[in-house]
Amino acid sequence: MKRMITRAAAAAGSLALVGGAVVAGAAPAGAAPIGNGAYGAATGGTIFTPPVANATVGDSPLVASNANVPGVLTTGNIFDRADPNGASSRVTQGVVINLPNNGSLKASQVTSSCRIVDGTVYGGVTITAGTITYFNRTTDSYYSVALPMHPAADDVITLANGAGTVTLNDQSTALGEDGYAGIYVDLTDGQTAVVAVSGCYVAPLT
């Protein structure tokens, strides 16, 4: 069982992201969950950007016109919501994540959501018209791979030429919180990017 938002925390540059909240300088395992939350995108590694449209129960809904990180990713409109019963992130009008070797990941829309029903968290991810395009040095040609609209939990795609991995529907659970990231990219050069993250918190029984 993975720690809550472990990969999303890495994407946000060693910040603890719990329930959509940012706690500077804290480690994910030591952070106290504070509630449901969502954000549209974040990057870490060589190029760091904090979560965009970081919605919490007390600050929701949040809208951003885009997330634009030169050299890493671009998105269209972002709509994030959080309430006591759940959270959701919807990134629309196109997502483009740059990949090594002139590759790219593109989708027309990426969403994640979670709901709490009778103390149990249910969630998932939808990727609309998603593709990964990459250049294969062995065959000296470009290839395009379609992404599933409703990926299984932690669906890992290994990029060509040892460039890194893409995880669809990246799920994490710890400290009473379940996190769902639509797309998480982890490149071997250390650059990371995450799109459409939502988390739901259920207080542990005492």
Residue 127 domain-assigned (yes or no): yes
Question: What tokens does 46 get?
Answer: 């060589």
Residues whose CB falls within 8 Å of the CB of residue 77, separated by 6 or more in sequence, listed in order = 63, 64, 65, 66, 91, 92, 93
Residue 206 domain-assigned (yes or no): no
* Residue numbers of the domain that contains 180: 6-201
Residue 91 domain-assigned (yes or no): yes
pTM assigned to the model = 0.83
Distance (Å, rounded) from C-alpha 113 to C-alpha 125? Answer: 7
Residue 167 domain-assigned (yes or no): yes
Domain count, the chain: 1
pLDDT per residue rounded down to tens, the chain (206 residues): 233 344 444 444 333 332 333 322 222 333 334 689 999 999 999 999 999 999 999 899 999 999 999 999 999 999 999 999 999 999 999 999 999 988 999 999 999 999 999 999 999 999 999 999 987 777 778 889 999 999 999 999 999 878 999 999 999 987 778 999 999 999 999 999 999 999 999 887 66
Residue 1 domain-assigned (yes or no): no
